[in-house]
Amino acid sequence: MTFQPVSTSTTVPQAQADRFARRVSGRLDAGARGVNHNVAERLRVARERAIAHLAAQPGLAVASQGHASVLSLGGRTGAWGKFSTLLPMLLLLAGLFCIDYVQDQYRADELADVDVELLTAELPPLAYTDPGFVQFLRSTVRD
């Protein structure tokens, strides 16, 4: 077992992937030697179909700069593609506005409850001037 230092360059993972692919390819080639002719022909035709099908599909395009990278489907994006990239941002903004509205409603309801408690309570007028009255209201509203 040999120790290889880990490098931060992007060529090291690519080189490891290439070595792995060569090992897998070598084992498949060794196993393919024992296959009869009919099976080998069917595999060849299936391989050609798969390659033709893969070539017809748009490939993945990777754009990277520094430590950031973007993975996208190859080809140009149309109006729907641009709309689908803006849709999550629009939904997020709509959600934030809804949260703000709900919180404002909650605060207004809370203040209205305090006002109802004040107006319906049977207290003498001097109680409203007492410094502990606000504390009393806060403790009764939470209960």
pLDDT value at residue 123 = 73
Q: Say what the pLDDT of residue 110 is.
A: 92
Specify burial of residue 133 (Cβ count, 10 A radius: 0-12, 13-18, 19+). middle
Q: What is the pLDDT of residue 94?
A: 96
Per-residue pLDDT tens listing for the chain (143 residues): 444 444 445 577 788 888 888 888 788 777 777 788 888 888 888 878 877 776 666 655 555 555 555 555 555 667 777 788 889 999 999 999 999 999 999 999 999 988 888 778 777 777 777 878 777 777 765 54
**pLDDT recorded at residue 1:** 41
Residue type (1 letter), 105: Q
Question: Which sequence spans correspond to the domains of the chain?
Answer: 8-56, 77-143
pTM: 0.35
Own/partner contacts of 106-110, CB < 8 Å, gap of 24 or more, are 110/141
